[in-house]
Amino acid sequence: MEGIKLNQIGVSFKGSGSYVPDQILTNQKISQKVDTSDEWIKSRTGIAERRISSSGDNVTEMGYKAAKTAISMANWDIETIDLIILATSTPHDLFGSAPSIQAKLGANNAVAFDLTAACSGFLFALITASQFLKGGSFKRALVIGADQLSSFVDWNDRRSCILFGDGAGALAIEAISEFDNFIGFDMQTDGERGSFLNLPSKNKMDSIIDNVNFLSGGFSPIQMNGQEVYKFAVREVPLILDKLFRKTNISSDEIDWLVLHQANQRILDSVGERLKISRKKILSNLENYGNTSAATIPLMMDEAIRNNKIKQNDIIATSGFGAGLSWGAALIKWG
């Protein structure tokens, strides 16, 4: 299948990059902290180990390193980048970390901002950037997903501490007039179910002066209803992907790869089964990294591209899903 021919602007995918911290936390090491085991974790999640940030491995640094490798693959002049979107829920600076990445890269002509949508963040950011390019506002964009969830995990909660890790990934995308390799997308949000997965603020009442109080800032650890999140994912992700297949007149048989948010191997397998997509086409690396939130999709794509699994003109179905609750899907053609 060739890219869709257009009389308008389309999107081409030019490069990928990723970065993970060096520090490895295995299931065996977690079992020394909480009552669990390597077998129990693997059988329920598929995760064997995850990367944990230490000093220097904040979201800005991880995002910068992932972006740099994506720019290198794209062979871009830094000065030609117009837009940088950082998908993260754990910024190094609550006012935004994308501008710091822009400065570190020396991308002086780029506008940069953060986008927060948790595990759907990268997909939402990729869709947002593609619309800017198709609208003619910008020519070249970097889309980065980076999260440092280890800072917000309750390491005494064995239900959640086994799941999360840190990392970053990035894609370099470009406006082009000959074809459009961003084939289609869909996005959904259901705030009624938002309580299933949260990183809520935790405020302490204090006083400025007599009779004038304020709430000091802070956050509680990640709170998750794992059973409800699982049921949500295995139901909604196949539905939104199937809807997108029908909207774009592409069947699941035509897909070369399925790249889902790397949350749980059972979710990946269930979605593949419901869509009748072969396991050979389902890309997974969560065994090595766990759930890195906004980083999972670009981290998986970069690994597959550099291992020559994803090749030029391959059609990729991808879906991000998680807190909000939010979820989305996109069909792209690599190249």
Q: Which of 27, 58, 181, 291 is catalytic?
A: 291
Do 9-179 and 183-194+221-333 fold alike per CATH?
yes
Catalytic residue check, 261: yes
pLDDT in tens, 301-322: 999 999 999 999 999 999 999 9
pLDDT in tens, 24-68: 999 999 999 999 999 999 999 999 999 999 988 999 999 999 999
Place of tokens 């191997």: 265
Catalytic residue check, 119: yes
Share of the chain above pLDDT 90, in %: 82
Q: What is the pLDDT of residue 6?
A: 46
Place of tokens 């598929």: 46
Q: Which of 58, 161, 181, 261 is catalytic?
A: 261
pLDDT in tens, 159-206: 889 999 999 999 999 999 989 999 999 999 999 888 888 877 788 888
Q: Which amino acid is at 39?
A: E
Domain spanning 183-194+221-333: which superfamily?
A: Thiolase/Chalcone synthase (3.40.47.10)
Instruction: Indicate if the alpha-carbon torsion angle 240, 283, 310, 335 is positive or negative.
Output: positive
Closest CA relative to residue 316, chosen from 283, 294, 268? 283
**Res. 2: pLDDT tops 80:** no
Could you tell me the two tokens for 308?
């020559």
pLDDT band at residue 1 under the 50/70/90 scheme? very low
**Res. 5: pLDDT tops 70:** no
**Res. 102: pLDDT tops 60:** yes
CATH number for the domain running over 9-179 = 3.40.47.10
Where do the domains of the chain lie? 9-179, 183-194+221-333
Q: What is the pLDDT of residue 208?
A: 85
Q: Return the HEC string of 261-308.
A: CCCCHHHHHHHHHHCCCCHHHECCCHHHHCECHHHHHHHHHHHHHHCC
Predicted model pTM: 0.93
pLDDT in tens, 221-263: 888 888 898 999 999 999 999 999 999 999 999 999 999 999 9
HSE at residue 174, side-chain half, CA atoms within 13 A, is 20
d(CA 56, CA 216): 26
Q: What is the pLDDT of residue 3?
A: 53
Q: What is the pLDDT of residue 199?
A: 79
Q: Which of 119, 161, 181, 264 is catalytic?
A: 119
